[in-house]
Amino acid sequence: MDKEYYLAELLPFWKEINQSARNALTAASMPVYYKAGTLLHAGREDCNGLFLLVSGRVRVYSITAEGKEVTLFRLLDRDVCLFSASCIMRNINFDVYISAEMDTEAVRIPAGIYDRLFKEQVSIAGFTNELLSSRMSDVMDIMEQVLFLSFDKRLARFLLDESALEQSDTLTLTHEQIANHLGSAREVVSRMLKYFSGEGLVAVSRGKIRLLNVDGLMALSQ
C-alpha cells in the first residue's frame, strides 16, 4: 500500500502544511489491516491515533456499564476516524469502541505525531474541528431519533439504511446485533420484527432478514 498516496488523498490539509510536516507524517504513519470483527479501539484508555480508511467499514459505538450497546456512526472508505485518537482531546469524557465490520485496510497516524502537528498547524486544527463537528452532528441525529421516534420507525429506518449500505435486500443480522445498533433489547427487536413480518414488510429467517416491501418500510419510517 502506498501510504503517502492515501495521506495526500484523504487529508485535506496535506497541501497546506510544509514539507517537513508532510515528511514527519509519512514517516510515522503505517498501513494496518483488520479482519472483520476485530476491535480497533476500546475506550479512552486506548490511543491508537487516527485511521484513514482505505477500504472496509468500521462501526463506532458506545457501551454502558451494563454492557448495552448503541451504534453512533459507521465510517467507510475515505473516511477519517478521529475518536481512536480521543486521548489527545482533553475534554472527551466518553468511551467509544470501534470495530471492523468488514475486512478493513487503513493508514494509521499515531496519536503523538498528530497531537504535535495539530498544535502547530492551524490547517490541521481546522480539519480536526470539521471532523468533530461532523461526528457531533451524527450523534445529535441518533439522539433525536432515540428521543422522538417510536421504535417501529427507528427499526424501519435502520433496515432501509442497512439495505442501502449492503446494496442488498437481504441482511445478515441477528436480532441481538440489531438491538446493539439501536441501543435496544433483543426481545424488543424480535417482537417488532414479528409485527413487521405479519404486515408483509419483511421475511425473517435464521440470522437473515429480507426486505419484502421497501415502500411500506419507507412510509412507516416517516
Q: Which residue's CB is nearer to a copy of itself, number 126 or number 200?
A: 126
- Shortest Å distance, C-beta 159 to a copy of itself: 19
Burial (Cβ within 10 Å: 0-12, 13-18, ≥19) of residue 215: exposed
Query: 19 or 91, CB closer to a copy of itself?
Result: 91
Residue among 32 and 98 whose Cβ is closer to a copy of itself: 98
What mask of x and - would describe binding to a copy of itself in positions 2 to 41, judged by CB under 8 A? ----------------------------------------
Residue 94 is given by DSSP the state S
Is residue 114 within the footprint of a copy of itself (CB under 8 A)?
no
Determine if 90 is a binding residue for a copy of itself (CB under 8 A). Answer: yes
Interacting residues with a copy of itself between 131 and 150 (CB under 8 A): 131-137, 139-144, 146-148
> What are 154's three cell numbers?
427507528
Q: How far is the CB of 79 from a copy of itself (least distance, A)?
A: 13
Subset of residues 168 to 197 that bind a copy of itself, contact rule: CB under 8 A? 183
Give the phi and the psi of residue 193 in degrees, each rounded to 5. Answer: -65, -35
Specify which residues 68 forms β-bridges with. none
**Cβ closer to a copy of itself: 1 or 146?**
146
- Shortest distance, position 103 Cβ to a copy of itself, whole Å: 28
Q: Could you tell me the smallest distance in angstroms from the CB atom of residue 54 to a copy of itself?
A: 22
Q: What is the 3-state secondary structure (H, E, C) of the chain?
A: CCHHHHHHHHCCCHHHCCHHHHHHHHHHCEEEEECCCCEEEECCCCCCCEEEEEECEEEEEEECCCCCEEEEEEEECCCEECHHHHHHCCCCCCCCEEEECCCEEEEEECHHHHHHHHHHCHHHHHHHHHHHHHHHHHHHHHHHHHHHCCHHHHHHHHHHHHHHHHCCCEEECCHHHHHHHHCCCHHHHHHHHHHHHHCCCEEEECCEEEECCHHHHHHHHC
Q: Which of 35, 39, 94, 161 binds a copy of itself (CB under 8 A)?
A: 94
CA distance 211 to 209: 7
> How many positions of this chain bind a copy of itself (CB under 8 A)?
38
Nearer to a copy of itself, 132 or 160 (CB): 132
Residues of this chain, 52-81, that bind a copy of itself according to CB under 8 A: 62, 64, 66, 68, 70
Footprint of a copy of itself (CB under 8 A):
62, 64, 66, 68, 70, 89-94, 118-122, 125-126, 128-137, 139-144, 146-148, 183
